[in-house]
Amino acid sequence: MTPDLQREHLERARRVGVRSTLVGMAINAALAVIKGIAGVLGNSYALIADAIESAADVVTSFVVLLGVRMAGKPADANHPYGHGKFEPLAAAVVSLTLLGAAVLITVESVREILTPHHAPAPFTLGVLLAVIVIKEVLARYVGGAADTIGSVAVKSDAFHHRADAITSGAAFIGISIAVFGGEGFETADDVAAVVAAVVIGINALILLRPALSELIDTAPAPEIAQSIRDIALKVPGVLGTHKCGVRKVGFVYFVDLDVLCDPDQSIRHGHEVAHNVGEAIHSALPAVAKVLVHVEPADDFGRRSRDMVI
Mean pLDDT of 262-276: 85
Q: What is the pLDDT of residues 228-253, one digit of tens each?
A: 888 988 889 888 888 888 888 777 78
Q: What is the DSSP letter of 261?
A: E
Domain count, the chain: 2
Domain identity same for 185 and 236? no
- C-alpha closest to that of 254 among 233, 225, 284: 225
Kindly tell me the burial class for residue 196, based on how many C-beta atoms sit within 10 Å of its own C-beta (0-12, 13-18, 19 or more): buried
Domain identity same for 303 and 230? yes
Q: What CATH number corresponds to the domain at position 302?
A: 3.30.70.1350
- C-alpha closest to that of 163 among 24, 54, 39, 251: 54
CA distance 53 to 164: 6
Domain identity same for 275 and 297? yes
Domain identity same for 204 and 276? no
Domain identity same for 211 and 263? no
Global pTM exceeds 0.85: no
Domain identity same for 25 and 100? yes
Categorize the per-residue pLDDT at 304 as very low, low, confident or very high, splitting at 50, 70 and 90: very low
Q: Which of 174, 192, 215 is the last residue of a domain?
A: 215
Give the dihedral of Cα atoms 44, 48, 51, 52; nearest 10 deg: -160
pLDDT value, residue 105: 79
Q: Which of 158, 190, 215 is the last residue of a domain?
A: 215
Domain identity same for 205 and 229? no
- C-alpha closest to that of 210 among 288, 152, 146: 152
Domain identity same for 159 and 240? no
Q: What is the pLDDT of residues 107-154, one digit of tens each?
A: 877 877 777 666 677 888 888 888 889 988 988 888 888 877 777 777
Domain identity same for 86 and 175? yes
Q: What is the pLDDT of residues 143-190, one digit of tens each?
A: 888 877 777 777 777 877 787 787 778 778 877 887 787 677 767 777
Q: Indicate the helix (H) or strand (E) that contains 89.
A: helix 86-114
Sign of the dihedral through C-alpha 239, 258, 241, 254:
negative
For 76, the 3-state DSSP assignment is coil
Q: Range of 255's domain?
A: 222-307
Categorize the per-residue pLDDT at 310 as very low, low, confident or very high, splitting at 50, 70 and 90: very low
Domain identity same for 228 and 177? no
Domain identity same for 227 and 211? no
Domain identity same for 298 and 155? no
Q: What CATH number corresponds to the domain at position 36?
A: 1.20.1510.10
For 258, the 3-state DSSP assignment is strand
